[in-house]
Amino acid sequence: MSDATASRSLYWLRDNCPCAECRDPRNGQKLFQITDLPAELGIAAQTEQDGRLEVLWSDGHRSRYPLHWFAKPEQADAGDHRSEAGKRLWRAADFAAGIPEARWSDYLADPAERAAVLRAVQRLGFAVLREVPAVERQVLDVAASFGYVRQTNYGELFDVRVEPNPNNLAFTSVAISPHTDNPYRDPVPTLQLLHCLENAATGGDSGLVDGFQAAALLRTEAPADFEVLTRTLVPFVFRDRGTELRADRPLIETDPLGRIREVRFNNRSIGRLRLPAAELDAFYAAYRKFAAITLRPELQLEFRLDSGDCLIFDNVRLLHARTAFEPGGTSQTPEGAGGGRRHLQGCYADLDGLAATLAVLDRRAAALDRLQELFEGEGAAEYLGEAVTQAEHMLQAAALAQREGAPDHLVAAALLHDVGHFFDQHSQHAVTGRQLMEGQDNRHSHTGADRLARWFGPEVTEPVRLHVAAKRYLCAVEPAYRAGLSAASEYTLGVQGGPMSPEQAAAFAELPGAADAVAVRRWDDAAKVADADTPGFDHFRPLLAKLLG
Amino acid sequence: MSDATASRSLYWLRDNCPCAECRDPRNGQKLFQITDLPAELGIAAQTEQDGRLEVLWSDGHRSRYPLHWFAKPEQADAGDHRSEAGKRLWRAADFAAGIPEARWSDYLADPAERAAVLRAVQRLGFAVLREVPAVERQVLDVAASFGYVRQTNYGELFDVRVEPNPNNLAFTSVAISPHTDNPYRDPVPTLQLLHCLENAATGGDSGLVDGFQAAALLRTEAPADFEVLTRTLVPFVFRDRGTELRADRPLIETDPLGRIREVRFNNRSIGRLRLPAAELDAFYAAYRKFAAITLRPELQLEFRLDSGDCLIFDNVRLLHARTAFEPGGTSQTPEGAGGGRRHLQGCYADLDGLAATLAVLDRRAAALDRLQELFEGEGAAEYLGEAVTQAEHMLQAAALAQREGAPDHLVAAALLHDVGHFFDQHSQHAVTGRQLMEGQDNRHSHTGADRLARWFGPEVTEPVRLHVAAKRYLCAVEPAYRAGLSAASEYTLGVQGGPMSPEQAAAFAELPGAADAVAVRRWDDAAKVADADTPGFDHFRPLLAKLLG
């Protein structure tokens, strides 16, 4: 047994077999159950070559693993970014130069800006969007831009303003000290959004405290108290005429590795604990110590939400607060005598939707970076004896498409039609499961289309897939087309199987994307002009980004 | 210091002061922060009487506590019903006589039936609603009947049927062994609904396994393996073109008291664990043992969902499964050659909303029970020298209202107009915060209205509140009314302050509910007929239940 497998569990290895029989290539889901594996599992043979470990299992199954799987991880895994291991803990002074923020229009237009905002929420616990239209229900659009609204008994959204008959302190003008919302709910909403429609009040500023930082300080300064708060179940309760909620959770929740994972902090809704007096004393001493830490001035980040600002924050980490204000009239008496009106709309959402949106944005940015690398690296190489490099060829094809007013997806297909050449050389995965027609070297079109399918829809990938077949089609139906081929292209036509038969041509014309593939083909053929003035990859990047989004 | 406080933590006692200054009477939320309490808190004096402990604190605050708070709890608290302590663990044989189920129409019409279904989901983990209209999107109405839909990347709802290009095994016809859904989401949806629109397939039956039972068996049979599964973080992952989710959670999650709280079980989405080989071996051994337990025949509850059935189940406890079936065509080819079509619609929701709905239903049932007890107990007593008992008097008033075609809320007000007499005698709380007009004995109307406000809206409570004032009003504006009063009523008129002055009468007529109060008053006056044939409390209970709902 090699070092690679000697240091790995057999069931782990088999459970992670990446073959298409074991794992759905579309979504990576495993296609077997752990109990399907034999009770006596062994390795019959194994070899290592080309950066891969190939294993023949005792039950006859074959698996291939990339060897880099067996390298030691370089650093602690931030994992799912839910525990403190995936966060950057902060104090107010860390934002002396400004808080994480972006203009709503930039956030919408620029995926990088959007990713930066969402990453701030994930790692720091909050971000502020500015210049969000100050109209009712807009907060729901903000939530929908990265995730899903969590509806509660307060409704889809809630209004934070002075109410004549409030069922919650939030709907008064008194100061509210740092707390998390809805600890009596389980699962508790992990994100909160507060969108300021109007804030003409004197006072009514916002405050945030990093609850993970406060918990970490408690752990350092009073480890026994920290322990008490992680293991004491606190009954959080809320009750009015229409609802009655209760959740028994610790103030500080740690994961099985002991890492801080969630903080709940809200004296308003702590119910009556039923424990022996000694445990109550220990709990209240620890709770008061923790509460005092959350009030330390160096932890209080204060800022003001003005009309159009939307604060997004982690409700299982950050405590939020509000200073008192002079109410300028309630929702029933819109014109106040003293002070100005203050009106926020809020809603709840969840971290998992935000994390998924961020992961997809990151994946797409990485895809664009990878394509850009290809154009600027390997793509600069000679192109089968043509007068242009491969990158110039593809950029020219895209420029031609754009000049003719082609829709974005065809500009992209023209730009990317030959990327299969690069992936073929570098891919660790063979082209699988797809029948290549005998004797036809159109492998690069399929390789390219398959790889692009991770990022783009069929409107981009299918013209790429069919662009070699389109050449054979055109040679069959347009004699003049064949006459115009470059010498290199005429040469490869033979390798690719020659012109289609009339039956093949008729079948091709029926395929979805055939017309688009023919269009791409014509730009492909025309894009071999030496020293043409062609825009670089950067020019097309926003267009590609839009198609990815 | 008395025994009561000697055995209790001072801060606990003070944090739970029930006075209106410390706690909002509307929703029970505390109006102070734990850090507001003095660092040196002491008791200056205390007395016990009338079942209450009165404490004078060192900072001058006064608190009163019911002494029953200090009794030892009789049994272990089921708490928030989320851990195994709040569940009934089961095996398939426990449902030999049938599974928890109800007809949709009964569930809608009868609060007791609704509570039984929701309690089954909370305690057993599932229930089936029958004869739910087999129409698209109906599953969302089922979810809305007790809680809130949790939207995900699958949408608001998802279709479970054979798809031509599935992104998930659920959308094929293969067998799916017991699993929980969406373990890669955090927070994971705690409830799932599956509504069967059509099931003409051969096969395609449903299975459920109590994951808490399986985990409890593992704990008994292999405690070390149970420990391993509670402390190993498993990366659950799901990724397709539009999303990328990851959650690192243990297969078996315990609460800080070590009680089983959530189970996640889904080999399809377990990603690559990165741990030392010895830990991987330990994990896989424990995981395989747990998996084998979930497949034990005695744990497999099997049944068939037919058109109109809607299964509601706890997705952090129960594992659900599906047998293979012969697909009768996909959504794109509706007419299948072999087998029949199978089409379910599902959605996710959360346990907290369900628990709140159940708690409110229970609270309302308890309120009706309490009112019924009053009518059948104390209400049977003599009524201030009238010819009827107090209960007969109120029942007669309600019957009169009903005979005149009064709306439900006025029938209820007539029925309940004098309940303050009973609460006055038994209430542990004095009437607080409300100005009683000098010299007017209308206390019972306020007591009744305040107590009823826990359960009913102002359309019921305000006529009750004003029914004594309405008598003084009528005596002022209708000489004939006063002439018709019974001797006892004429006597109490004096105690109550006599007829209103013209100014008082004009002010009264302006009050919201004044006209309703006058109507109630007239039924009140007429409802003193000896031996009248009057329906009992049972007759009015459904009407009250509707007003509570």
Burial of B504 (0-12, 13-18, 19+ CB in 10 A): middle
Distance (Å, whole) CA B195 – CA B177 = 19
Is the omega angle on the peptide bond into residue B187 within 30 degrees of 0, that is, cis? Answer: yes
Contact status, residue A403 vs residue A527, Cβ threshold 8 Å? no
Q: What pLDDT does residue B5 have?
A: 55
Measured CA to CA, the distance from residue A70 to residue A56 in angstroms comes to 18
CA dihedral B524, B525, B529, B530 (to 10 degrees): 80
What pLDDT sits at residue A464?
94
pLDDT in tens, B232-283: 999 999 988 889 999 999 999 999 999 999 999 999 999 999 999 999 999 9
Chain B residues inside the 8 Å CB shell of A149: 151
Q: Which of B82, B233, B279 to mutate to test the interface with A (most CBs of A within 10 A)?
A: B233
The pLDDT confidence band at residue B8, using thresholds 50, 70 and 90, is: confident
Bigger pLDDT: B338 or A496? A496
State whether B82 and A245 contact (CB < 8 Å): no
Longest dimension (CA), chain B: 96
Nearest by CB to residue B12, choosing from A238, A241, A284, is A284
Can you say whether the dihedral through the CA atoms of A438, A440, A444, A446 is positive or negative? negative
* Band of pLDDT at residue B338, cut at 50, 70 and 90: very low
Tell if the CB–CB gap between A359 and B287 is shorter than 8 Å: no
Min Cα separation B261/chain A (Å): 11
pLDDT value at position A494?
A: 84
Give chain A positions within 8 Å (CB) of B8: 277, 280
Give which of B11, B21, B27 to mutate to test A binding, by max A Cβ within 10 Å. B27
- Residues found in chain B: 549
Best residue of B2, B280, B319 to probe chain A, by most A CBs closer than 10 Å: B280
- A-chain residues near B71 (CB < 8 A): none
pLDDT score, position B78: 74
Please give the pLDDT value at position A495: 81
In the prediction, which pLDDT does A2 show?
A: 46
**Which one-letter DSSP state was computed for residue A203?**
B
Residue B7: per-residue pLDDT = 60
- Best of B70, B234, B352, B456 to mutate (most A CBs within 10 Å, chain A): B352
* A400-409, A439-448, B20-29, B538-547: least confidently modelled range: A439-448
Identity of the residue in A169, A188, A295 whose CB atom sits nearest the CB atom of B29 = A169
C-beta atoms of B169 and A353 within 8 A: no
Confidence at residue B146, expressed as pLDDT on a 0 to 100 scale: 98
Nearest to B136 by CA among B344, B309, B349, B348: B344
The residue ranges of chain A whose pLDDT is under 70 are: 1-7, 73-77, 328-339, 383-385, 424-442, 549
| Cβ within 8 Å, pair A151-B152 | no
Cβ separation B80–A272 shorter than 8 A: no
Decide if A351 contacts A191 (C-beta within 8 A). yes
SS (H, E, C) A126-162: EEEEECCCCCCCHHHHHHHCCCCEECECCECCEEECC
Question: Is there a contact between A535 and A414 (Cβ–Cβ < 8 Å)?
Answer: no
CB pair distance less than 8 Å for B284 and A11: yes
> Nearest Cβ partner of B34 from A34, A151, A267?
A267
Q: Name the closest residue on chain A to residue B152, using Cα atoms.
A: A148
Residue of B nearest to A267 (CA): B33
Contact B356 A149 (CB under 8 A): no
What type of residue is A439?
A: G
Mutation pick from A63, A151, A167 vs chain B, by most beta carbons of B within 10 Å, is: A151
Please report the number of interchain residue pairs, chain A to chain B, with beta-carbon separation below 8 angstroms. Answer: 240
Joined together, the tokens standing for residue B418 give 């004098």
In a 3-state reduction of DSSP, which class is residue B328?
A: coil
Distance between CA atoms of residues B468 and B441, nearest Å: 9
Tokens describing residue B273: 């664990």
Residue type, A89: L
pTM, 2 dp: 0.88
C-alpha distance from residue B497 to each of A393, B418, B438, B441, B445 (Å): 101, 18, 9, 7, 14
* Contacting residues of B for A280, CB less than 8 Å apart: 8-9, 11-12
| pLDDT, average across residues B432-440 | 32
Question: Between chains, do B27 and A239 touch, taking CB under 8 Å as contact?
Answer: yes
Domains identified in chain A and CATH numbers = 3-70 (3.30.2020.30), 84-356 (3.60.130.10), 377-547 (1.10.3210.10)
Min CA distance, B469 vs chain A (Å)?
Answer: 25
- Which of B102, B116, B120, B110 lies closest to B549, judged by CA? B110
Contact B15 A267 (CB under 8 A): yes
User: ipTM of this model?
Assistant: 0.88
Inspect the interface and report whether the beta carbons of B8 and A277 lie closer than 8 Å. yes
> CA torsion angle for A534, A408, A485, A383 (degrees, to 10)?
50
Q: What integer pLDDT is reported at residue B166 of this predicted model?
A: 72
Q: Is A240 helix (H, G, I), strand (E, B) or coil?
A: strand
Is the Cβ pair B9, A239 closer than 8 Å? no
CA distance B173 to B336: 13
| CB contacts, 8 Å: B283 with chain A | 9, 12
Nearest-by-Cβ selection for A240 from B15, B27, B285: B27
Least confident of A168-182, B38-52, B60-74, B319-333: B319-333
Least confident among A118-127, A222-231, B312-321, B486-495: B486-495
pLDDT of residue A384: 62
Tokens for B150?
């949790």
Buried residues in A213-222 as b, exposed as e (16+ CB within 10 A): bbbbbbbeeb
**Helical H runs in B85-157?**
104-109, 111-123, 138-144
Residue A423, helix vs strand vs coil: helix
Q: Residue A447 region, left (φ>0) first, then alpha (ψ -120 to 50), else beta?
A: alpha
**Nearest Cα residue in chain A from B78:** A248
Say yes or no to pLDDT of B353 above 60: yes
On chain B, the residues whose CB falls within 8 A of the CB of A363 are 244
User: pLDDT tens digits for A97-125?
Assistant: 999 999 999 999 999 999 999 999 999 99
| Contact assignment for A351 to B186 by CB distance below 8 Å | yes
Convert the pLDDT of each residue in B502-531 to its tens digit: 999 999 999 988 999 999 999 998 998 888
Best of B2, B3, B12 to mutate (most A CBs within 10 Å, chain A):
B12
- Cβ-Cβ contacts under 8 Å, B359 against chain A: 244-246
